[in-house]
Every structure is written in C-alpha cells, then in structure tokens.
Structure 1
Amino acid sequence: MPQGQLGSTLCQPASGPSNTVMVLMAGSNYNGTYWDFQYQPDVYSFRRAMNAAGYATLVVDRLGNGESTHPPALTLTATATAQALHQIVGSARGGIAGAPPFAKVVIVGHSLTSGTSVIESSSNHDADGVILTGYSHALNIPETLGVVSTYYPAVHDPEFAGRITDPGYLVTRPGTRMHDFYDPADADPAVVAHDEKTKEVFSLTEYPDGLASTLPGMSSFITAPVLIVNGSKDRLSCGTNYSVCTDSATLHDEEAQYFSPAAKLQTFVLPGSGHSVNLARNTRAYQLAVINWMQTYIR
C-alpha cells in the first residue's frame, strides 16, 4: 500500500463551527480545486455553497494528487484511497486541524472517488451520509474506454513540465476536457479553460477496483443515507444514450435495486450537465439539492 501524507483544507461556516463536516474528495483528472473552483467561486465553488449553508468542509486530495504526496504511480489503488478515507472519517470524529470533534461526517465523492466512497462506506459503516456524484451502476463502458484512450503521460503535458517525472502518472490531453466532462450547451468556455489550467494527474491502477464499485453487490452493504447526482448529459455514468439520467425519478428507478432500504436512496439529475456537475452553468440547482438532502437526512 502506498505511504504518504494527504493534503487537506478544513473550512468552517462564517457563522461559527459546525457539528457536521462534509469530506470532499475529487476523482481522477481533478484535485481539490474541483470542490473550491476559483473562477467565479460564488457560482462554482461547492465548498463555499456548503459553508454558507452551515456545514464545515474538509477538501482532501487523493494520494498522488494535488497537495498530497506522490508515491510511485503504479502503487496507487482506489482501495488504498478508501482506507485513507476511513482514517480521515475517524480523525474528523476525534477532532482534526484543531477543530472540535464532528458529530456527523458525510463523505462526498465524484466519479472515481464515488467508487472510493462506496468501497469505504460499504466496508466500515462509519459515515452518517454518502453523496455519490458522476456515478451509477449503468457505467457506459465504450464511452469510458474512449475517454481513457485519449489520456497520455503527464511528463509530456505543458501544465506539468518539470513537476511530474513518473511516466505512470497520466493526464487528459489539451483540448479534450470539454468533450469528456461537459456538455457544450451547459459549459462556460472560461470555466473549461480554467479547468485545463488546474487539471490533475492520476494512475490507471486506481481504476480497476474503483470501477468495480459500479458492479452489482457492493453498494447494497451501505447502511447510511445515500444521494446520487448525475448530469443528464454525462457520457460516462448515464448508460447508453443517457437513458438512466432522463430525470431524477428515472435515475432512482434504475439505482434503487442496488441499495438496501437503510440507504434511503435519493437521486438528483442536473439537466443539461455533463460529467463534472460542479462546473455546469446551472450547478447552483445541484448545490441546492444537496443542501436540501443534508437538511432532511443528516440531522
């Protein structure tokens, strides 16, 4: 298992410390800036929106990612990240970064780290809630393989010149993120340009066990309330022709079979959004859906 330190940032609401913390971890291709986007942050920063709603946030970078240490790329796995996430949940309950202990901990993933969250929560039952974004059991394999096939070693990318020397770390090629993670009708070109500047590396060894979480079985062991969020134009997570993301009810009908009654499954589809729901023009509707779910299920 790779060893190292996880980079993290704890933010409390301006109104004062909260007894609930949301642990935010981005998937492959992103670091913590996905949750705390600095272009028009009043619109696109999920972290700010949750703090304004009264919740603390802990933005955490995966190993090999962002401000975390970078072990050899081929040692990285989603299971190791899930084990680290389990330790983070325990630390939050005991008090982290000088904060009082949190009574409630909600883990929030996107894409690959939604898989990580399923691995963690189905094994440890230590979170009070689980939010899975860019995730479903109807993973579109041809589209996913098509996106993965365009990745290349970060040592060849101008954004990582001199910073990454391990050829096992991969990154998206310049100019591909609009196709992979957005729908053009629901994306600000300036957001996509900023996204390109802040993109992140990952290792293919994180995918096998991470994607295995989308197979039937594992998610049925989650006993905390679950919210699944997808964009209606998510080419990776919405099945063939976006069929499972027609609307929130359709997504619920498709996903309910994979979760136990204890999960109290709720779903939300952000109309028009691609895979990266945090960065869609209408992302505020998703933020409000999350806040409503938090107020209802995390008390």
Structure 2
Amino acid sequence: MSTPAIFSAAARRRARDRAAGRFAEHDFLRAQMLDGIADRLLAVKRDFADVLDLGCFDAAFAPPPGARVARLDPGFAFARAAGGVQGDEDHLPFADAAFDLVVAAGTLDTVNDLPGALALIRRVLRPDGLFLGAFVGAGSLATLRAVLRAVLRAAEEEQAVARLHPQIDVRSAGDLLVRAGFALPVADVETLTVRYSGLGRLLDDLRGMAAGNILAERHPLRRDTLARAAAAFAARAEADGRTSERFDLVFLTGWSPAPDQPKPARRGSATTSLAAALRAGDGGAGR
C-alpha cells in the first residue's frame, strides 16, 4: 500500500507557476542558498562537465565554467523560461550516471518522497559525483507558527499544525543522505532573520517564492482568524514596528561512492584513548 501524499503535486505546480512572474521580488532565500552552495563548490578542487540544476526556479544558478547544464523544475513556467524540463525530484527523467554535479536549492522540502528523491539523485550521479542541496528546514517560521497555534487554540479550532508544512531538521537530513547511499555526507544549517512590517508582507513573500500552503489536505484560514493572527504578529513587533521571522537553511553535501574516495576511520582504530586526551588537557584554570 502506498504512503499517503503529504503535498499536492497539482497545488505545487500551480504555486510555482503563479510565482514565476514576480519571483525576482521574493528570491532572497534562494539567493542565500545559492551563495552557500557557491561557497561549498569553491572548496572543491575539481572540474565538472555535466551539471543538473534540480528545482531551477529562474535559472539563477551559474554552473562551473565550461560545464553543460540541464535544468528541471516542478513548475511549467519556470521550466519553460529556463529552457529545461518539467518534472518532480522523486521521478527524475534522466539516465543513471548522467551528471557529475547535481545542485538542488529550494525545493526538496516539498517533495513527497524525499528519501526516494535523494536515492535518484545519487543514481544520476557518476562515481565520485557531487550533490549540493539546500532547503528551508526545521526552526523556520517560528513566529508564524507560534502565532497560528495561539490564535487557533484560542478559537478552539483544530488542525493548527496541518496549516503549515512539516519541516526536516539538520540531523534527519544527514541521516537521509546516509540512507540514500551518499559517501562523506555532511548536513549543516545557517540561520537568516528577516524583519517584517506586518503579517501580510510575510505571507506575500511566501506566496512569491512559491512557499505557500501546498499540503494535500488544506484548511484555509477564515478572514476573522487571519485578522487575529495579523494582530498577534504585530503584537510581537520590536520598537521600530517590525516583527522578526526566522529561516533555518539546511545545506546538504554528499558524494556518489567511488573506490578511491577517502574512507572514514574504522571504529575502534584510534590510537589515543579519550581518557588519556582528557588527562592531557587537565591543565586549564580552576575556579
């Protein structure tokens, strides 16, 4: 029996098509992700010939010099504008070992089968190929979540959590890389704080970056509930009238396995015990 879908594929495509025309006004999170990916790519001293930009949005990702790039997006408008193909990350239309670099910035958190998507990414990589990903992870939208929970609880409404997307924390992301078969997996997180003049501006940003509610089971907010949420959001404002919202960006790095890659040390192979290391460092100042 198949697992019920968390996200609606049709709603996901519609949200992306609606956002395509004005994405440049709301692209700051993906720009931050691409900056982080570029920094990580600069640390890799090798050439890449064939690159996949997975979840390409407006094709802002610049491949390494001389590399050929294929682009895929779940939305038709983004895919067409980028000269790419429309498709989903957990149903990739590419041959095995077709790329030596896959970049996925900003869409993996809304894939129904993320373990399957990561396994497919590894399959389309050649041996010793590199995967660099980023998405909005656990801890994000903390203010919005708190406001909605409080407002819905006060109104004695159910489905408070179901109105917002589930989130993946950095530890789970690292575990998923291991499960998908990546070598030398690394998952880390960077936090970005954005200050808003009101709830409406935050919701406009979320819609503009195609990050609105695409849950398979959606429960739209009533006008009066939304008004109470806006008031509660404003009540959290600082002295200048702006309310802080948090975005935690999870970055993923993994390599397709190859025989000549460095291997982690065998468990139990250390030549110095922890107790000896602690004794050696016992010369610190006391209190």
TM-score of the superposed pair, with normalisation by structure 2: 0.30
Which one has the largest radius of gyration? 2
**Greater share of helix:** 1
